[in-house]
Each structure stands twice: as C-alpha cells, then as structure tokens.
Copies of this chain bind each other. A is one copy, B any other.
Amino acid sequence: MRLGLHLLLDVAGAPFATLDDPVLVETLLVDAVRAMGAKVLGIHIHRLSPQGVSGVVVISESHLTIHTWPERGEAAVDLFTCGDASRARTAVRALAKALGAERTRFEERVRGAEPLA
C-alpha cells in the first residue's frame, strides 16, 4: 500500500546566520507545517556545538525534520506526509527559499508501495 510521500530536500548556499539560528529554524518549520494545513503534535529543536541546528516536528502520521551545517551553508530536510502532496511540495519549496538556499536538490519517494521484496 502507499503509506505516504517522502520529500527529501538538500539545500546549499544558505547564510550561516540563518542556518545557525534555532529560533528562526523553528519558526520556519512551524510555518511549513501550517502551510500544509497540518497540526504540530510535538517539536524538538537542538542547537549543536560549535554550530548547527537539528529540528524535528511531529505531525499526525507525518514529520518534518531539518539538520543544518552553517559552516558549509547546507541543510538536509525531510518531510513525510500522508496529506496533500501538492501542498507538501509547495511548503518544502517555500522552506528552501526562506532558508536562503542558492541551490537545492529535491527528491520524492513513495513509501510503503507494494510489492515489497
């Protein structure tokens, strides 16, 4: 069965200050969830040492995560959604823009598709 859609976004060329700001990153994640019309069930944001942010938002049957490497200008985002695919794609692309990405790589994986080996 198709369980959900997994969107994988890699970001490069983003500003150090943006990627190293846990408050801003949290705001952007929550904005993305709201843009999907979804509800935040839980959120964890961690600032890493000496820099970087790891953030996870739990959504019903879904999640949104980010890991940032400010010193490289890079971040990895993943969004698992059982909701509307179009809104999810729009939310992820808006997140890339809000992070100040100069370059992005975007992949989609259908999860849970039969047949399983």
Interface residues of A (CB under 8 A from B): 1, 3-4, 6, 8, 10-12, 41-42, 44, 46, 48, 52, 54, 56, 58-63, 65, 67, 69, 72, 74, 76, 78, 80, 82, 103-105, 107, 109, 111-117
Contact = CB atoms under 8 A, between A and B. Distances in A.
Given A76-B111, A109-B107, A112-B10, A44 B58 contact: yes
A28 B82 CA distance: 23
Given A8-B109, A104-B117, A80 B76 contact: yes
B78 A3 contact: no
A4 B76 CA distance: 9
A6 B56 CA distance: 15
A77 B38 CA distance: 20
A59 B61 CA distance: 20
Contact of A105 (B58, B72, B80, B116): B116
Contact of A112 (B41, B74, B117): B74
Contacts of A4: 67, 76
